[in-house]
Amino acid sequence: MTDEIEKKMLSLYALGNSYTQISKHIEDIYGVEFSKAAISAVTDKIIPMLQEWKTRPLEALYPFIFLDAIHYKVKEDGRYISKAFYTVLGIRIDGKKEVLGLYLGESEGAKFWLQVLTDLHNRGVQDILIASVDGLKGFPEAINSVFPDTEVQLCIVHQIRNSLKYVGSKNQKQFAKELKAVYQALTKEEAEYELDKLEEKWGKKYPIVFQSWRNKWDNLSVYFKYPIDIRKVI
């Protein structure tokens, strides 16, 4: 087997092809047939590389990190089940983005995130200035238990999407338009004023939306203390 064929197998494997599909592609391209065992022997070569990447040392300080779970349907034992990939994206001091880690779990939860954060700490991360996360219950507490000085900014996009779930379909477009005055305000005080105005108009019809914004406001409004350029990064 040549290096070229091995590289092609690994490329196909990385794109999510099964061993059967890889075998067929290789046969179509090179006219050579390989068994599943032979292909498996090639793809197994990346396991040590993955392990090395997963445990590599990290920077001591990251100005920003973004933590979110991506959900996939994965075939396991002949049936499709949901899996959560816990994803940590960091922005370094030099401004470059870096995937700090990918962690596979059954579902998203604060307890698993605590394990992820502990792993980051064990790999050398001493401080994180701002962590951007969704509204998962217990998430800010999990972050601050490992990094007590980190400010937690709840993701505005997640909050908007969750809010619109509770708004009637005929009012969603107008509500979303008026909500911009809150999160696009120049100052925290202006945002709070706009939130009050919005609640006066819509509060009786959609009380759960405003209850959510009020309960999470401390973490939703963190970015207002920073200049516009920094807000865009957050």
Order of all β-strands in the sheet with 127-133: 97-105, 79-91, 61-76, 127-133, 151-154
- What does the alpha-carbon distance between residue 88 and residue 105 come to, in Å, rounded to a whole number? 14
- Asked if 70 contacts 85 with a C-beta cutoff of 8 angstroms, the reply is yes
Within 10 A of 41 (CB to CB), how many other CB atoms are there? 14
CATH of 61-152, one of 3.30.1490.20, 3.40.50.920, 3.30.420.10, 3.40.50.720: 3.30.420.10
Residue 43: predicted pLDDT: 85
| Phi/psi of residue 227, nearest 5 degrees | -60, 165
- Asked if 22 contacts 38 with a C-beta cutoff of 8 angstroms, the reply is no
Distance set, CA 126 to CA 60, 145, 167 (Å): 5, 13, 42
pLDDT tens digits, residue range 76-107?
788 888 888 889 999 999 989 999 999 987 76
pLDDT tens digits, residue range 38-63?
888 888 888 888 899 999 999 999 99
Residue 221: predicted pLDDT: 95
Residue 72, sorted as left (phi over 0), alpha (psi -120 to 50) or beta, turns out to be beta
Residue 70, sorted as left (phi over 0), alpha (psi -120 to 50) or beta, turns out to be beta
- What does the alpha-carbon distance between residue 69 and residue 181 come to, in Å, rounded to a whole number? 29
DSSP 75: E
Residue 1: predicted pLDDT: 65
Q: Where are the domains of the chain?
A: 3-54, 61-152, 156-233
Q: Which residues of the chain have pLDDT under 70?
A: 1, 107
Residue 165: predicted pLDDT: 95
- What does the alpha-carbon distance between residue 221 and residue 191 come to, in Å, rounded to a whole number? 9
- Asked if 105 contacts 84 with a C-beta cutoff of 8 angstroms, the reply is yes
- Asked if 130 contacts 234 with a C-beta cutoff of 8 angstroms, the reply is yes
